[in-house]
Structure 1
């Protein structure tokens, strides 16, 4: 049985319960619950939407356009918060292990996307020696179009500032906006084939639903060759 991403994230939460001050844990829990309660589900990108051309910035330098990503078929985008996010440092290595090899065998690009500026974002790729691509979404442009952005509430802002930096300083964007963790599978024609948004950043999409969406696009035979 393959490992579960959400089991790994549950372990992170359990560790925090055991080691953090109760007030700090409560702020974290309340922020995540608020995002679930206030999620504008109708605004989220969904299957069938047309994704107009976009450009991301590769952390190694250079750009990555929608048309380049889709040149040979579908592509997968994984939106995450920023390079220092503990849950993201569990999630991206999980996708590297459980998703990247199978997608790579099919020639399907896998790109992890954050609004953090490339010179700050590159550290998560080097820290985990990721083969999957990591790219910056300048000014949250694509995230905004997908309807997946959120802003820190007052309690969360105070908690972050108490540690010395605003989230805008950490990301280099100068704002309190981040994307909610999101997976988007884009078909070759630019339409969204699969989209899942996780307002609670400790609950994220497992590898299997993503592979299933790719199977639907490429056919069962292609997927069997990659597994």
Structure 2
């Protein structure tokens, strides 16, 4: 049985249930449920959409454009919240283990994207020795075009401020906006071949459907043999 990202994230939630103060836990649960309830699916990036040119800033310096990513074929973008996000520190190493080797072997770039400023993103890349690329989406420009942004609700803002943590200070963006976890597979012509948005950040895209979407684009679809 292959490793499940959502099992790992469920384990994180179980640890919180066992160790967090009930009021703090409820704020977290309520915010995630609100995002699910209020999700505007009609605004989310969808298969068949065309992604106009964009530029992302690499964590280690420099930039990478849409056209550079698609120069040799498709590319995969994984949107995450910020380097200190506990769920992201489970998700990105999972994608490193389960997605990166196969995509790298196929020559397909894999980028993890956050609005956090580049120098602060090096933290998560270094902590997990990530080989996949980590990049900043300046001012959430691409996330906004994809319709995947959300803002902290009042209870979550108050809880963060009580700990001295404005998310805008942490990310360096100065705003309370973050992307909802999202995986997008972009075909070489700039169209979206796969897209999944997860309003609840403790529910995220597993590796297998992403690999399947890339292989289909590349024509590596296994032949079904009738027995």
TM-score scaled to structure 1, two decimals? 0.97
Inter-partner Cα distance in structure 2 for 1:34 and 1:221: 38
- 1:47 match: secondary structure: coil
Within a 5 Å distance, the mapping from 1:118-129 to structure 2 comes to 118-129=118-129
1:32 and 2:10 aligned: no
Quick one: distance in 2 between partners of 1:100 and 1:7? 20
Whether 2:111 is the aligned partner of 1:106: answer no
What's the CA shift for 1:2?
Answer: 1.4
Determine the structure 2 residue equivalent to 1:13.
13
| Unaligned residue ranges in structure 1 (runs of 5+) | 223-227
Matches within 5 A, 1:3-152: 3-152=3-152
Deviation at 1:220, TM superposition (A): 2.0
1:128-174, Cα deviation, whole Å (9 max, x unpaired): 00000000000000000000000000000011111112000000000
Partner SS, residue 185 of structure 1:
strand
1:220 aligns to what SS in structure 2? coil
Query: What is the CA–CA distance in structure 1 between the aligned matches of 2:199 and 2:216, rounded to whole Å?
Result: 26
Cα distance in 2, alignment partners of residues 72 and 58 from structure 1: 19
| 1:225 paired residue number | none
Q: Provide the rounded CA distance (Å) in 2 between the counterparts of 1:122 and 1:128.
A: 10
**Residues 17-69 of structure 1, C-alpha deviation per residue, up to 9 Å, x if partnerless?**
00000000000000000000000000000000000000000001000000000
Query: Matched residues in 2 for 1:213 and 1:60: separation?
Result: 29
Q: Which runs of 4+ in 1 moved over 3 A?
A: none
Counterparts of 2:162 and 2:218, CA distance in 1: 49
Distance 2:107 2:162 in 1: 45
1:201-220 → structure 2 map (5 Å cutoff): 201-220=201-220
Report the Cα distance in structure 2 between the residues aligned to 1:117 and 1:109, rounded to whole angstroms.
Answer: 21
For residue 221 of structure 1, report the CA deviation from its aligned partner.
6.2
Unaligned runs of 5+ in 2: 223-227
- Rounded Cα–Cα distance in structure 2 between residues aligned with 1:36 and 1:3: 25
**Length-normalised TM-score, structure 2:** 0.97
Q: For 1:129 and 1:220, how far apart are their aligned partners in 2?
A: 29
**Is 1:198 aligned to residue 195 of structure 2?**
no
| Residue 8 (structure 1) shift | 0.1
Q: How many residues align?
A: 222
Q: Which residue of 1 aligns with 2:225?
A: none
What is the root-mean-square deviation of aligned Cα atoms in Å? Answer: 0.8
